[in-house]
């Protein structure tokens, strides 16, 4: 009998190990292909667009990133944690998806006029054509809406381990973008606003495909449930101040250089920022694999896996950062001859990107364990503001190198704040307690996707 029990236990352990290996393999294949194509598209775009056009595109892309974060405020990121182990109850998942979409669309409507005023100010400062600026801003708004569809429906796929479908749809959007960009280039129609609209169309395609697939995992009610929306806000509220702050300061270097520097400086900062895509393969691993994995762990296993994941991430960052400082010419070759003189800037950009990647690793492990407190936001804001204030009191952001220094100091302070929050979380535990056995059976009609 003992031998039989041991055999069964070993078999189950083997099955469990193979399942984990399959998830990792799907992730590496799917995300690897997507990020490789994305990187290639970005590199060709840097070569195909003249410096002035690439500066416009880079600013629009940075503006889109900030706008997207402000319309979300971390609300859709709560879906995974709040659904918990109720992943097979499509009504529960649908309630959270519906609330997430409602918040995103409302915030987009409210913030668009303010975003337009700020973007118009930057465009006028650099004497960009009004028609080009209007087309770029339209692409930004459409991209933010499309990314909302992706961010709301993707959790329904990820928590049900539909990684293959998730990456197929991501790949479809990227391939559409690559095909569109290439066609426009050979037709001699590629410019800043055309590239921005092609990018938006790719995101929208991914959102449509994700929504259709999510129909079997999320049954959306006809109306938003206010109780669910309040629960999502209650969970996300301590982090909202830092989300607002980080959505602005994450791109503040390119905004500062757009005010105090030249159009060429904007293009150089944007081109160097493309090098951060080296970390996209690793960064996307955080919400798709690490966060669900940490959310499922029993409490006594959390510390072991936390330290293991963080140690591996630090080792990877050390290798990449050293390569940036010691062998920058190989990296500069990727971004083209227009930016070949940025040797010293590359190493510091890689270091800053390493810090940003580690911030993501620590943050997603923290949110998976519901270590989100009011102190998280205020500590993060205080440390980043202090670092930036000290830097700006000593250095003026009027060159590309100064902008990269500014990013490195800001991300270092942010990483330190995240580590302090995790230490606090280990001792205090989750702020929000949820009942994983609670089941929702809505009586109201539901909407078919």
CA gap 159, 325 in Å, rounded: 39
Q: SS3 for the chain, per residue?
A: CHHHHHHHHHHHHHHHHHHHHHHHHHHHHHHHHHHHHHHHHHHHHHHHCCHHHHHHHHHHHHHHHHHHHHHHCCCCCHHHHHHCCCCCCHHHHHHHHHHHHHHHHHHHHHHHHHHHHHHHHHHHHCCCCHHHHHHHHHHHHHHHHHHHHHHHHHHHHHCCCCHHHHHHHHHHHHHHHHHHHHHHHHCCCCCHHHHHHHHHHHHHHHHHHHHHHHHHCCCEECCCCHHHHHHHHHHHHHHHHHHHHHHHHCCHHHHHHHHHCCHHHHHHHHHHHHHHHHHHHHHHHHHHHHHHHHHHCCHHHHHHHHHHHHHHHHHHHHHHHHHHHHCHHHHHHHHCHHHCCCHHHHHHHHHHHHHHHHHHHHHHHHHHCCCCCHHHHHHHHHHHHHHHHHHHHHCCCCCHHHHHHHHHHHHHHHHHHHHHHHHHHHHHCCCCCCCCCCCCCCCCCEECC
Asked if 72 and 107 touch (Cβ cutoff 8 Å), the reply is yes
Per-residue pLDDT, 3: 57
Instruction: Dump pLDDT digits (tens) for 155-197.
Output: 888 888 787 888 889 899 999 999 999 999 999 999 999 999 9
Q: Which two tokens stand for residue 139?
A: 């692409």
Q: State the pLDDT at residue 113.
A: 92
pLDDT of residue 29: 66
Instruction: Yes or no: say if 418 and 444 are a contact pair by the CB < 8 Å rule.
Output: no
Give the range among 187-196, 223-232, 256-265 with minimum mean pLDDT.
256-265
Q: Where are the domains of the chain?
A: 17-236, 250-430
Contact yes or no for 334/43 (Cβ under 8 A)? yes
Asked if residue 440 has pLDDT above 60, the reply is no
Q: Tens of pLDDT along 398-413?
A: 788 888 888 889 899 9
Whole-model pTM: value is 0.69
> What is the model's pLDDT at position 444?
44
Least-confidence region, from 55-69, 83-97, 211-225, 414-428? 83-97
Average pLDDT over residues 417-430: 88
Instruction: Please give the structure tokens belonging to residue 102.
Output: 């409602």
Q: What's the pLDDT score for residue 19?
A: 59
Q: What is the pLDDT of residue 78?
A: 83
232: pLDDT confidence band, cut at 50, 70 and 90? confident
pLDDT at 200: 94
- pLDDT at residue 149 is higher than 80: yes
């Amino acid at each position: 009998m003992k031998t039989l029990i041991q055999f069964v236990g070993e078999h189950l352990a083997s099955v469990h190990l193979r399942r984990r290996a399959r998830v990792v393999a799907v992730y590496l294949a799917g995300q690897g292909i997507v990020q490789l194509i994305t990187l290639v598209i970005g590199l060709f775009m840097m070569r195909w667009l003249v410096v002035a056009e690439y500066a416009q595109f880079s600013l629009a892309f940075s503006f889109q990133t900030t706008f997207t974060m402000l319309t979300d405020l971390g609300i859709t990121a709560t879906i995974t944690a709040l659904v918990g182990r109720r992943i097979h109850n499509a009504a529960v998942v649908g309630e959270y998806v519906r609330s997430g979409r409602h918040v995103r669309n409302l915030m987009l409507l409210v913030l668009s006029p303010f975003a337009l005023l700020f973007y118009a100010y930057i465009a006028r400062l650099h004497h960009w054509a009004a028609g080009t600026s209007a087309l770029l801003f339209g692409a930004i708004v459409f991209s933010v809406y499309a990314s909302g569809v992706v961010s709301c429906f993707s959790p329904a796929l990820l928590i049900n381990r539909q990684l293959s479908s998730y990456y197929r749809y991501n790949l479809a959007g990227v391939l559409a973008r690559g095909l569109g960009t290439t066609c426009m280039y050979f037709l001699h129609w590629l410019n800043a606003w055309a590239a921005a609209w092609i990018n938006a169309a790719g995101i929208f395609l991914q959102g449509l495909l994700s929504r259709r697939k999510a129909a079997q995992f999320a049954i959306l009610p006809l109306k938003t449930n206010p109780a669910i929306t309040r629960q999502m806000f209650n969970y996300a509220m301590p982090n909202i101040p830092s989300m607002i702050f980080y959505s602005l300061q994450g791109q503040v270097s390119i905004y500062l250089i757009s005010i105090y520097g030249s159009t060429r400086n904007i293009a150089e900062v944007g081109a160097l920022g493309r090098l951060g895509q080296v970390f996209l393969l690793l960064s996307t691993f955080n919400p798709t694999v690490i966060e669900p994995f940490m959310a499922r762990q029993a409490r006594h296993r959390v510390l072991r896996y936390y330290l293991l994941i963080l140690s591996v991430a630090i080792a990877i960052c050390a290798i990449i950062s050293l390569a940036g400082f010691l062998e920058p010419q190989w990296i500069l070759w990727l971004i083209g001859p227009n930016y070949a003189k940025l040797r010293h800037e590359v190493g510091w950009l890689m270091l800053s990107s390493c810090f940003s990647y580690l911030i993501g690793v620590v943050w997603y492990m923290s949110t998976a364990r519901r270590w989100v407190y009011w102190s998280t936001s205020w500590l993060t804001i205080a440390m980043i503001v202090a670092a930036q204030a000290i830097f700006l009191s000593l250095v003026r952001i009027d060159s590309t190198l100064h902008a990269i220094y500014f990013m490195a100091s800001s991300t270092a302070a942010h990483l330190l704040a995240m580590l302090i929050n995790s230490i606090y979380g280990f001792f205090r535990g989750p702020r929000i307690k949820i009942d994983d056995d609670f089941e929702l059976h809505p009586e109201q009609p539901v909407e078919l996707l």
